[in-house]
Amino acid sequence: MNLTKIIIPVLLLAGCATNMQQYSANYKSNSIYNVWDELNAKAANELVLKKDGTFNFTVMPFETYKDYWGTFSVDGRKHIINFKIKGGNSVPKDAKLQNVKYAFDKERHLILTNYYYGTVAKESIPGSTHIFKHY
């Protein structure tokens, strides 16, 4: 039995878990600023919203890979988020990231409507509702 086939994946997974715990500790205290994982999605669909106004979105998170990233602004009175993509490894041309409505349910899940990641997330449908839990 080749131990490197077992040890290396375990070490990679441990590193990913450590990074997620660090992200979670940093953003857990604030409602919108967090690392969000989409519920009931075929892919992991991770959305990270940082206090400095930057975000990143990844369909299948692995180590430091991100599909795309950029900046966002929040209108707390209207419950609207506007995203602007600045770069990425897989940037969709058809993403709908303006005037995204947000709300929180009683479990503190983030609910986004009028939001479309683009064809980077193949199961996503324009105009559908997305529900995220925080890590």
pLDDT in tens, 65-93: 999 999 999 999 999 999 999 999 999 99
Residue-level pLDDT at 123: 66
What 3-state class would DSSP assign to 17?
helix
Evaluate if pTM is beyond 0.85. Answer: no
Label residues 84-106 b or e (16+ Cβ within 10 Å = b). ebeebeeebeebbbeebebeeee
What pLDDT, on a 0 to 100 scale, did the predictor assign at position 41? Answer: 84
Cα distance between residue 61 and residue 19, in whole Å: 12
Q: What is the pLDDT of residue 118?
A: 86
Structure tokens at 89: 């490894």
What was the pLDDT predicted at 43? 81
Q: Provide the 3-class DSSP secondary structure of residue 91.
A: coil
Domain ranges across the chain: 4-134
Phi, psi of 123 (to 5 degrees): -85, -10
Which residues of the chain carry a pLDDT beneath 70?
Answer: 1-30, 122-124
The pLDDT of residue 2 is 52
Q: What pLDDT does 42 receive? A: 81
State in words which class domain 4-134 has.
mainly beta
Q: How far apart are CA 95 and CA 31, in angstroms?
A: 24
